[in-house]
Structure 1
Amino acid sequence: MEQTEIAREQGAPTASILAEQAWEGKVRKVFSWIVSVYLCVVFGAFPLYFHNYYYDILVSKYQFYWLSTVAMLASCLIAAIVFACMDLKRFGGAHVRRFLGAFRLTELKKQPFAYKALAVFWALALISTVLSDYVYESFWGNEGRFSGLFLITLYVLGTIVISKYGRMRKWYLDVFLASSVLVCLFGITDYFQMDLLGWKKGVSNEQGNLFVSTLGNINTYTAFVALTMAVACGCFVSERKVGRRIWYYLVSALAFFALITGQSDNAYLSLGMLFAVMPLFLFTTWRGIADYGILAATFMTVIKVVDTVNKVYADQVIGLGGVFGVLVRYRYLEGVVVLFWILAGILCVWKRKMEQTNPESKLGRWIWRGWCAVLILGCLAVAFVFYDANLGGHAERYSALSQYLVFDDDWGTNRGYCWRIGWQSYRELPFLHQLFGFGPDTYGILTWDFRQDALDRYGVFYESAHNEYFQYLVTMGPLALASYLAFLGSACVRMCRKWKECAWILAPVLAVLCYGAQAVVNINLPIATPIMWAMLAIGLTLTREKAEQAE
């Protein structure tokens, strides 16, 4: 501790040093306890909370989150004031001076890049709000999805307080997964049209089938389940205790099932991210490769199970369309499942053999490099297909997948139209608004001139861009988008650097990446998004603790 080191340098007596150490430990314990209670509420209670079923699900979730976060911040502030008064009395305000000294410019420059990017992001959100023609709406986000400056501020402050003053405990993730199991089970029963919660009484099937579990819209549900899947898989591949591995494996399988039956094509983005990124961590050991094989085989098995369920209970389930509808109807699916399990079995046997005969052996980099080459070639192939289908003039080559590859107004359930009117409206803004945006969460106001046209064409109007990154671009400006991406990227890199020291940090990393993949076509809502920010915060908490231990 810096304070006790100073005390020693000043020749303070041993008793004084011990008293100061006890004081510091007490302060840390109190703040850690406040953060622990808050994380239990956000991870355990928040996903299950509701007020008036689906009718006010967004409002009730938003109110629950902001009240919980404000309560946590207020508790920390009260504790800080109490400790400051006690410090003035016992230590002459030495700790308060040290704390305030941390805000000097020279000290702030020492902060990790992730925190600097986060501060810039918040500052740009503030500037965007102040310069907006709709300051009130920009602050509260009441004309959108409540993701205005107020909520952004809570995300930022919550992340800083948790990561700087919290203590990371793996059971936080278990609390989240336990809550998620209930969310997934309710969602799966909704797929069977059982309506165990009784939330869909008096609602038509066409409308009711778009709302799932305790979260609302199927896209929001899918984003949340993607976080669950990522955390469960990350914990499974990093855990060594058999009992806990079984727990994480079962949750992973349940999340796969819930994600597929969630009926949203957004899920394939997070699934693609998960299975593309995991090998970058796992393909350095035979154990990692075997675990990856088990998860891949499990996912294929779940697809087959869903196919069987759809056939046996055809008159009870909602049914699948889109990408997952194609997968479950694949004629050779059963053979693919068997092949995957054979490969997984071979990998497990080989892993066990290597552990017994040559436990010190290390896997060469050739498999890892091979996977990197596959990823690069895959990205290039996807880029070429999109180019060829849209700019190359060969859309007819991809007629079977045109709804996914050819960009027009109808692409992505009319997201093409939503993005087009947003870009057109943004281009007509004055330069200052182009630089700093129209104001946080004011997309509906920005595209107001197209509201009647949207209603005439699709029967809906758009309050959100249905693309988190594009939303930040047009409502907060390119600088805010760049700082947000810099924060996410640098935070993930910072966590990845500690992966060798603490393998289960992979769970929050995968959660952020899977959320980020879906954010390309999803709305930033105070339902799944707070979980992503909390995952980021606990990941950064762990990196801080590892850095402190190294010192």
Structure 2
Amino acid sequence: MKTLNNFLFQDRDLTHDVYLRSLHRITQVYLFLMLLVFPFYSTNCYFHILRDRRNFFLCVTGVYLSGLLLTLLCRIPREERGVIRQRCRLMKTDWLLLIFLCSATVGMILSGNVKVVFFGTDGRYQGLLMWVLYGITYFCISRFWHMNLVPIHLFLLGGIISSVWGITDFFGMDIFGWIGRVKPEQQTMFSSSYGNINTYTAAILLVAGVSAGMTVFAGTMPRKGADGAGSCHNTCSRILYPAVFFVSVLALIYGRSDNAALGLMMLFLVLPYWSWRTSGGLQAYCMLLECVVVALSCSGLSLSACPDLPVDVTGSILLNLSQFHSYYSLPILLCLTFLMYWSSRHEDGSWKYGSLCVRIFYCLIACLALTGAGLIAMAFAGRDFSSVPMIGRYFVMTDAWGAHRGYIWRAALEEYRHLNWLQKCFGTGLETFGNLMRSIRYEDMIRSTGVFFDSPHNEFLQYLVAAGLLGCCALFIWVFSCCARVLRSGKNGISSACAAGILAYFAASFVNISVPITQAIVIVLMGMMMASYVDIEEKAS
């Protein structure tokens, strides 16, 4: 029983007083439920999955907050609450989240339909109620959780299960019978325990980002002492974390969503800033690249061996890329292996050219970004790129672009310009985008696309319309400033890994929608990510 207690709560290294330890234990149990149970909870397979996950979050979070409140009021003496109040002081980034919530509240009042906006019943259930609970959850986790590896390992365990489940769905196994209950013409749109393949891709990107971050940043985590536990960290860094990353990349490839390419691209653009400065980080980065190349090769070989798959494999950029693996796999793997061998010769971990290589890399990325912006501008000006192989279709800027995302993005921006100045600032109310489009553009949308969009399939546009310019800017500046604050320091491996996963998720959110299935996990990871800064500020004061 003592071993189980240590595994669940990691009390050995908790340096806070006994009262904070109680709050940490409650939070640790909550993280277990949210990171390992929540991703699989459903009462009826894919039917009502959004509502089921919303209800699970509401119930578990309600019990969690009640437990914290009872502990604070009943167990902790009044004279001992000074430490709690000290930890509960707002950080600078917290004010941005409060600004978003205030903007969303004003938008709800302006909408004229307070009940719908509060509960989010006309959309995907992420009304003001959910966002208030998101904010409270983030605050409590960041203040009362002491950083340890157990929740990260639970999250990666759940990610492995979801990834393997999704891979088997790609090959038509349907091991749990969920897809068999869906209409035949819609079965290819669902995967794993997350439902829609875009939601599934967003969730697996979180797993890929966290496992990649743990691979690179494991060396920065606090050691457990000289009793041999340090070697366990090295084993996880060299074997277990890359293995999780490899399986998650396979799942992303078989998920058939182009959103995965955006997330992986962001991940490999962010990691060099910290990983290339040491030889160990460079080796980890090369290992992650090797995992991607091997995953593409494996998927390409599987497509050749199974030509009669029940899904369409021609529409995904990663699956298309995997079919050409024989041309690039071996040369890239040889180069990466040589680079790993060369960097391993720096036994002291230093690499004097690291900073220079980082600067050169980001200069090249800036040049490529400017080139891409120029190509997009040329596409909007009427230049035809349809004849360019593999990527040409992504530069054909019409209403049909990105499964009609071109139309709905244009419609969202046009309708935003037509709002009054108060609505432009504070929004029309959370989860009201569908009602807005239905009342103004329903017939035009059906005529142009054949379907009705109740979301712009772009989180930035979604919150620009729903929460206004003020709320949208506050929300995303909060997310990116927290991630930048953590990654700039590079002092804590768990925080940095969470930041890597969150950035990969938000890169894909540029062409995706926000739903409780993934947003709740993002908020939990945000709280875990910022917990280290609360500890640092407490020690400094």
TM-score (norm 2): 0.90
Q: CA separation of 1:428/1:29 partners in 2, compared to 1, >3 Å: closer, same or farther?
A: same
1:122 is displaced (CA, Å) by 1.2
Contact 1:143-1:463 at 8 Å conserved across structures: no
Out of 190, 209, 229, the position equivalent to 2:188 is: 209
Out of 44, 47, 62, the position equivalent to 1:70 is: 62
**How far, CA to CA, are the matches of 2:494 and 2:61 in structure 1?**
26
Instruction: Tell me the equivalent position of 2:158.
Output: 179
**How far, CA to CA, are the matches of 1:506 and 1:285 in structure 2?**
16
Instruction: Tell me the equivalent position of 2:318.
Output: 324
Instruction: Tell me the equivalent position of 2:426.
Output: 436
Contact 1:222-1:264 at 8 Å conserved across structures: yes
**How far, CA to CA, are the matches of 1:511 and 1:231 in structure 2?**
5
Instruction: Tell me the equivalent position of 2:18.
Output: 26
Q: How many pairs were matched up?
A: 511
1:461 is displaced (CA, Å) by 1.4
**How far, CA to CA, are the matches of 1:102 and 1:248 in structure 2?**
32
Instruction: Tell me the equivalent position of 1:510.
Output: 500
1:423-474 residue CA offsets vs partner (Å, 9 max, x unmatched): 2322222222222111111001111122233334434212212111111111
Instruction: Tell me the equivalent position of 2:73.
Output: 81
Out of 255, 269, 282, the position equivalent to 1:276 is: 269
Instruction: Tell me the equivalent position of 1:3.
Output: none
Contact 1:297-1:337 at 8 Å conserved across structures: no
Structure 1, gaps ≥5 residues long: 1-21
| Mapping of residues 126-275 of structure 1, within 5 Å | 126-239=105-218, 241-245=233-237, 246-275=239-268
Out of 301, 304, 323, the position equivalent to 1:308 is: 301
Out of 435, 449, 463, the position equivalent to 2:454 is: 463
| Mapping of residues 514-529 of structure 1, within 5 Å | 514-529=504-519
1:527 is displaced (CA, Å) by 0.5
Instruction: Tell me the equivalent position of 1:57.
Output: 49
2:320 counterpart of 1:334: no
Instruction: Tell me the equivalent position of 2:374.
Output: 384
**How far, CA to CA, are the matches of 1:252 and 1:198 in structure 2?**
26
Segment of structure 1 superposing worse, 541-550 or 294-303: 541-550
Segment of structure 1 superposing worse, 378-387 or 111-120: 111-120
Decide which structure has the larger Cα Rg and report it.
1
1:396 is displaced (CA, Å) by 4.3
**How far, CA to CA, are the matches of 1:100 and 1:292 in structure 2?**
41
1:504 is displaced (CA, Å) by 3.8
Contact 1:290-1:348 at 8 Å conserved across structures: yes
Instruction: Tell me the equivalent position of 2:35.
Output: 43
Matched to 2:329, the amino acid is V
1:505 is displaced (CA, Å) by 2.6
Q: What is the RMSD of the two structures over their aligned residues, measured on CA atoms?
A: 2.2
Instruction: Tell me the equivalent position of 1:454.
Output: 445
Contact 2:277-2:351 at 8 Å conserved across structures: no
Matched to 2:157, the amino acid is A
Q: CA separation of 1:360/1:253 partners in 2, compared to 1, >3 Å: closer, same or farther?
A: closer
1:347-395 residue CA offsets vs partner (Å, 9 max, x unmatched): 222122221xx6566444211111111121121111111111113x322
Instruction: Tell me the equivalent position of 1:479.
Output: 470
Segment of structure 1 superposing worse, 47-56 or 238-247: 238-247
**How far, CA to CA, are the matches of 1:397 and 1:23 in structure 2?**
61
Matched to 1:315, the amino acid is D
Instruction: Work out the percentage of aligned pairs sharing the same amino acid.
Output: 28
Instruction: Tell me the equivalent position of 1:395.
Output: 384
Out of 391, 399, 403, the position equivalent to 1:413 is: 403
1:549 is displaced (CA, Å) by 4.1
1:202 is displaced (CA, Å) by 5.0
Matched to 1:78, the amino acid is L
**How far, CA to CA, are the matches of 2:479 and 2:444 in structure 1?**
36
Matched to 1:487, the amino acid is W
**How far, CA to CA, are the matches of 1:69 and 1:129 in structure 2?**
23
**How far, CA to CA, are the matches of 1:440 and 1:300 in structure 2?**
41
Matched to 2:383, the amino acid is H
**How far, CA to CA, are the matches of 1:360 and 1:315 in structure 2?**
50
**How far, CA to CA, are the matches of 2:510 and 2:197 in structure 1?**
16
**How far, CA to CA, are the matches of 1:361 and 1:377 in structure 2?**
25
Matched to 1:290, the amino acid is Q
Q: CA separation of 1:397/1:413 partners in 2, compared to 1, >3 Å: closer, same or farther?
A: closer
**How far, CA to CA, are the matches of 1:511 and 1:446 in structure 2?**
32
**How far, CA to CA, are the matches of 1:130 and 1:495 in structure 2?**
35
**How far, CA to CA, are the matches of 1:506 and 1:375 in structure 2?**
22
Q: CA separation of 1:221/1:371 partners in 2, compared to 1, >3 Å: closer, same or farther?
A: same
2:112 counterpart of 1:120: no
1:478-520 residue CA offsets vs partner (Å, 9 max, x unmatched): 0001111220122112212331x22343211111101110111
Contact 2:213-2:500 at 8 Å conserved across structures: yes
Structure 2, gaps ≥5 residues long: 1-13, 220-232
Instruction: Tell me the equivalent position of 1:353.
Output: 345
Contact 1:236-1:248 at 8 Å conserved across structures: yes
Aligned residue for 1:520, secondary structure, equals helix
**How far, CA to CA, are the matches of 1:102 and 1:507 in structure 2?**
23
2:489 counterpart of 1:498: yes
Segment of structure 1 superposing worse, 199-208 or 248-257: 199-208
**How far, CA to CA, are the matches of 2:155 and 2:15 in structure 1?**
32
Aligned residue for 1:144, secondary structure, equals coil
Contact 2:399-2:406 at 8 Å conserved across structures: yes
**How far, CA to CA, are the matches of 2:243 and 2:310 in structure 1?**
23
Matched to 1:309, the amino acid is S
Contact 1:498-1:505 at 8 Å conserved across structures: no
Contact 2:253-2:319 at 8 Å conserved across structures: no
Q: CA separation of 1:101/1:50 partners in 2, compared to 1, >3 Å: closer, same or farther?
A: closer
Aligned residue for 1:519, secondary structure, equals helix
Contact 2:275-2:285 at 8 Å conserved across structures: yes
1:239 is displaced (CA, Å) by 2.7
Matched to 1:215, the amino acid is Y
TM-score (norm 1): 0.88
Instruction: Tell me the equivalent position of 2:520.
Output: 530
Segment of structure 1 superposing worse, 239-248 or 435-444: 239-248
1:535 is displaced (CA, Å) by 1.0
Instruction: Tell me the equivalent position of 2:222.
Output: none
1:325 is displaced (CA, Å) by 3.5
**How far, CA to CA, are the matches of 2:257 and 2:413 in structure 1?**
25
**How far, CA to CA, are the matches of 1:129 and 1:366 in structure 2?**
50
**How far, CA to CA, are the matches of 1:546 and 1:100 in structure 2?**
15
Contact 1:436-1:479 at 8 Å conserved across structures: yes
Contact 2:259-2:511 at 8 Å conserved across structures: yes
Matched to 1:48, the amino acid is F
Contact 2:134-2:523 at 8 Å conserved across structures: yes
| Mapping of residues 532-551 of structure 1, within 5 Å | 532-550=522-540
**How far, CA to CA, are the matches of 1:310 and 1:178 in structure 2?**
27
